Every structure is written in C-alpha cells, then in structure tokens.
Structure 1
Amino acid sequence: MTAALQVRGLTAGYGAVPVLRDLDLDVPPRMVVAVLGANGAGKTTLLRALTGGALTSSGQITYGGHDLSRVAVSDLVRLGIAHVPEGRAVITDLTVDENLRLGGLWRDDRKAQRQDLSRVYDLFEPLARRRSYPGHLLSGGERQMLGIGRALMSRPTLMLLDEPSLGLAPQTTAAIMALLATLRDDQGISVLLVEQNVGGALSIADRAVVLSLGRVVVSTTPQELAGDDRARHAYLGY
C-alpha cells in the first residue's frame, strides 16, 4: 500500500544538536500509526518537523506526492494535513463555536462548512451544549474534543495528534481513542498519533513505531509490540 505520508532520512531539531536522526516513517492511507517512546525520545519534535515547527537539516517528507519542504506551512491544511498539538489546540478567549469555525476559515464552501459544523456537534455532544462557552471554561476532555473538532473542520485526510489523552480520565481517553478509530474507519482519515498512553494507542493502532533518542528502534504491529517484553521494558518502561 502506498504511504500517504512518507518520511525518509529525517534529521531535525532546534539548534546545533539534532533531536531526530536519520528517521524513516510511513503512514499509509486509512491507518492509525502510533508513535511511542519515553519523554525526550523525539515524538513531539517529529510532529513539529512535519509541520515546519522544527528545523530539518536533512531528509525528505512527502505527502500525497507533495514534497512538504516546498510547501508553505500555511498551505499544509490545503493538502489535507491537520495538526492537533498537545495542550495548545484551543484559543481560550474564543467560544466553542468560534474555535470550530476558525478551523474552516480558509474554506469558501459555506454550506458544506455548516454541514461539517453540525457533524462535529453530533460527534461531540458536550460541545453542542457548550457552543457559546469560552474555551477557558471547558474541561480538559472538552478541550481535547474541541481541538479535534476544529481540525475536522478543515476536512483533513491526515491528522497529526500530540498526546490527546494527556491528563484525561480513563473514560474520556477511551472515548477519544474510539473516535480516532471511527475517523479512520468511517471517514478514511489517516492518523499519526503520538502518545504516552501505550495501552490506549495500541488498542486502535494499525502500526506501532517506538522512538528512542530520536531514532526508530521498533516498527511493528501493535500485537507484536505488546508481546515483545524486551522492547517494552527497554523503551516503554513496562
């Protein structure tokens, strides 16, 4: 299967010392790829490198045949790429409704936007009840829903998510993971999921990638990783 996102030989970071080193990664269409690893392994830097937030010194990143090094960051959304960063996906001074509409601001299909907004409220019933609330009044789980919902308003074909379960109750985490599986299965969206919650990520992933010190040390199926005691103890701490 042809990869929707293909990363080859990526070396990237924020200064003279790279965080990522010669990294290869594929995210095929309609698949969830979970990126796991300890703190400092390079997971967040990977997402930032894909979206122009970290300096790439070598390597190639392509999506749908487009060389992302030649695409302006502001145009990534037009290629179908949506990034939901950790803890920074909500503009707290704006209402729920304003945050969601912001996700489709670049689109000119007003009728379709209204339909998508209705679908987001159907997916996230708590947001529908709080559509006039400012972001700072939402719970942690509701903010994660809002961040994902705003990304969906851009009609993505690839979603990059950074620790969507961070700080959430187990029941809310399970709901978020189930939603990501639904987006893959029902809407055909590819997902690159960075997570510390290994169990939750592996429960929905089609592929598991483990980073250590900026390198891919394991790339396998979730079932094989769950059964590999050596790899889990060495890189995931359990």
Structure 2
Amino acid sequence: MTAILEVDELSSGYGPVPVLRDVTFEVPTGTVTAILGANGAGKTTLLRTLSGLLRPTTGRVRFDGEDLRGVPVERLVRRGLAHVPEGRGVVAELTVEENLRLGGLWRRDRADARRAQDEVYQLFDPLARRRRHAGHQLSGGERQMLALGRALIARPRLLLLDEPSLGLAPRVSGQIMTLLRQLCDGSGLTVLLVEQNVRSALGIADQGVVMSLGRVVMATPAAQLRDDEQLRHAYLGF
C-alpha cells in the first residue's frame, strides 16, 4: 500500500524550544492512523507542523510525493490536506450554512461544492435541521460535526484531526469515530487522528503511532496495540 504522507526525521518547536525530535513514520493511503501519547508528547505540535502552521527546523514531509517544505498553507489545502484543530474552530457568529460555505470558498467548481455541502447534510442530520442556527447555538457534538463537515467540503484526501471527541458525550464521540472509519472505507479518505481516548482511537485505527517527549517510540498495527496487554501498559498506561 502506498503512503500518502511520509514524515522523515522531522523536528519542530516554538522559537528556540524544541518539541518534536527526529519524528519518522508513514501514513498509508485510505487508512486511519492514530497518534497516541500522554499530554506533552508533541501530538498537537506534529499536526500543526504537518499542516504548515509551524515550520520544521529539520527533516522532511512528503504529501503524495511532494516535499512540503516552504509550501503555503493555501496550497496544501488545494492539494487535498485539511486540518481540524482541537477546539473545533467553528465561527460562532456565522450560521451552519455559512460555516460550511467557508470550507468551499476557494473551490472553482461551485456545482461540486454545493454537492459536497448536500453530502455533509446527509452525513450529519443534526446540521441539516439547524442549518440556519448560529455556531454559538449548537451543542458540543454539533460543533464538532460542523468543523468536520467544513473540512469535508474541500474534498480532502488527508484529514488531520486533533482531539475530535474532546468534551463530547460517549455516544456522540462513538458516532463520529464510526463515521471516520466509514469515510475511509467508502471514499478512500486518509485520516491522521490525535485522540486522548485511546480505546476509541484504536477501535477504528489501522495503525498506531505512539509518541513520548517529542519522539516516536513505536509505530505498529493498531490491532497489535489493542491485543497486546504488555505493550499497552508499557506505552499507553492501560
């Protein structure tokens, strides 16, 4: 299976403070890869670096074979990379429909952008019912659906997700995780997922990448992490 994302000896941080150190792993096309580790492991910094919000200090990132060094964020979006940060990033003053339109503003194919919006409403029925409600009127689960839907409007090939279940009821979190798995299986979307709920993440993931103190300590099939109690205790604490 080909890799849509190749990360090679990547280091990054904030100013003079290093956070990531020589991070190396690959993400196969059409799979879910879960980035796991304790708070402070560097997971969010990794996603911010991959999406172009932070500049790497050393190393290389290839997306679909293209070296991403120096590539502007807007070009990454056009190439098919979408990032949903922790906190969901919904514009509270805008309606559901207006937030979704933001996801397709750059697209030249307006007809397909409208089709993509209709598909989001089919995926997330609560958004269809509340399309004229403002973002601040939505529940936490609905805001997460809206953030995901806005990213999907751009028809990404690689979706970076930071803590999508944070603060959500277990039922809603489970629905979102199930949907991510279905999108990968049905449309070939690739997902790179940062998630504190390790059991939930491993339940849908194909691969687990475990980080500690800014380094990758293990990259292995998710089933191996799920089934090997010694590995879970050693690296994930349960």
TM > 0.5 fold call: yes
1:56 and 1:43 map into 2 onto residues whose CA distance is 14
Q: What whole-Å deviation, never above 9, does each CA across 1:170-197 have from its counterpart, x for those lacking one?
A: 1101100011011101110000000001
What runs of 5+ residues in structure 1 fail to find an aligned partner?
none
2:36 and 2:54 map into 1 onto residues whose CA distance is 19
Q: Secondary structure at the match of 1:83?
A: strand
How far off is 1:233 after superposition?
Answer: 2.2
- State whether residues 38 and 235 of structure 1, in contact with CA within 8 Å, keep that contact through their aligned partners in structure 2: no
- State whether residues 96 and 134 of structure 2, in contact with CA within 8 Å, keep that contact through their aligned partners in structure 1: yes
- State whether residues 88 and 143 of structure 2, in contact with CA within 8 Å, keep that contact through their aligned partners in structure 1: no
> Which residue of the partner structure matches residue 106 of structure 1?
106
> Which residue of the partner structure matches residue 228 of structure 1?
228
1:117 and 1:227 map into 2 onto residues whose CA distance is 39
1:174 and 1:70 map into 2 onto residues whose CA distance is 37
- State whether residues 157 and 190 of structure 1, in contact with CA within 8 Å, keep that contact through their aligned partners in structure 2: yes
Q: Secondary structure at the match of 1:4?
A: strand
Q: What whole-Å deviation, never above 9, does each CA across 1:63-85 have from its counterpart, x for those lacking one?
A: 01111113111111111000000
TM-score normalised per structure 1 = 0.97
- State whether residues 13 and 19 of structure 2, in contact with CA within 8 Å, keep that contact through their aligned partners in structure 1: yes
1:68 and 1:91 map into 2 onto residues whose CA distance is 28
Q: Structure 2 matches for 1:116-195, cutoff 5 A?
A: 116-195=116-195
> Which residue of the partner structure matches residue 50 of structure 1?
50
Q: Residue type matched to 1:162 in 2?
A: D
Q: Secondary structure at the match of 1:13?
A: strand
User: C-alpha root-mean-square deviation of aligned residues, in Å?
Assistant: 1.0
> Which residue of the partner structure matches residue 39 of structure 1?
39
- Which has the higher mean CA deviation after the structures are superposed, 4-13 or 221-230? 221-230
How far off is 1:54 after superposition?
Answer: 2.2
1:233 and 1:25 map into 2 onto residues whose CA distance is 22
Q: Residue type matched to 1:38 in 2?
A: A
